[in-house]
Amino acid sequence: MGAISTNNRVGSAILHGRNCVPTLKDVMAFLETLIKIAVYAVMAVTIVAAIGVVTLHNLFHSALALVGVLLGIAGVYLALQADFLAGIQVLIYVGAVMTLVIYAIMLTQRLGDKNIPQTNRQGFAAAIVTLLLLYLLIGTVCRTPWLANPPARHIPASALDLGQALMTTYVFPFEAISVILIAALIGAIVIAKKEREP
């Protein structure tokens, strides 16, 4: 939170009504501070919503809290200047995945109840999976060399860069995921298909 404490004249001018004319540079610094505060606020809301997902007693409310979490993550992507990723995040997760999740909730038997309980008896398995994911994440975080002052460079995050990377460097994982997706689609059709009456 270092940037908030930096002495910028716009902030003091606004806060204390002091008579000093801020320059455009000051304004930019002030706006950056505001953006930083906004990003921290978005992160805080995301975490609160994430806690809500696992603690709210109503399954439907949990799902809506999850929508909040996913939107918050999209906001963080935006702050990191990954516009394309943020757009995709909203389109895929909020627009498609969450809609499917809520649809699945609507198809459950207890829909008529006022409170749909959100717990089941698979806590142990879920804990194991979560711990494995945590291990992976911590491993990745530890292995990444975090630079204190990353050099200003072109970060390939635009749609064009991502597309080129997917079609050249990462073409194999991309194709593998496509094949898995096709397999899942075919599997879903096979499961959903009615058995023909003889």
Partner 1 sequence: MEYLDQLFVFAKRLMLDLLARFLPDWIVLVASMVISIVAILIFAPLTMMYLTLLERKVVGRIQNRIGPNRVGKFGLLQPIADGIKMLTKEDIVPFQADPVLHFLAPVIIVMPALLIFAVIPFGRGMTAVDLNIGILYFIAVSSISTIAIFMASWGSRNKFSLLGGMRTVAQMISYEVPMVLSVVPVILVAETLSTNAIIEAQSAGWFVWTPWGLAGFLIFFLCAVAECNRSPFDIPEAESEIVAGFHTEYSGIKFALFYMAEFISVFAVSALAVTLFLGGWKGPWLPSWLWFLLKAYALIGVMFWFRGTLPRFRVDQLMGLAWKFLLPLALINIFVVGFWYFSPGLWKWVGSLGILGPSFWIFTKLNRSYVPENRVYRLAEDENNETVGA
Binding site residues, partner 1, CB under 8 A? 10, 21-24, 26-27, 30, 60, 64, 67, 83-84, 87-88, 90-91, 94-96, 98-100, 102-103, 106, 111, 114, 158-159
Output 43 or 68, the one with its CB closest to partner 1. Answer: 68
CA angle 43, 83, 165 (to 5 degrees): 120
Amino acid at 186: I
Residue 41: CA count within 13 A, CB half-sphere: 6
Q: How far is the CB of 125 from partner 1 (least distance, A)?
A: 29
The residue (of 107 and 141) whose beta carbon lies closer to partner 1 is 107
The rounded distance, in Å, linking the Cα atoms of 44 and 76 is 11
Shortest spacing between CB 94 and partner 1, in angstroms? 6
* Residue 16, token pair as written in the block: 């204390």
The closest of 102, 99, 73 to 88, measured between CA atoms, is 73
Q: CA 10 to CA 84: how far, in whole Å?
A: 32
Q: How far is the CB of 61 from partner 1 (least distance, A)?
A: 8
In the bound state with partner 1, the residue whose beta carbon lies nearer, of 96 and 128, is 96
Comparison of 45 and 87: residue with beta carbon closer to partner 1: 87
Q: How far is the CB of 177 from partner 1 (least distance, A)?
A: 18
Q: What are phi and psi of 133, to 5 degrees?
A: -60, -40
Is residue 110 within 8 Å of 116, Cβ to Cβ?
yes
Give 30 or 42: the residue with its C-beta nearer to partner 1: 30
| CB of 127 vs partner 1, minimal distance in Å | 29
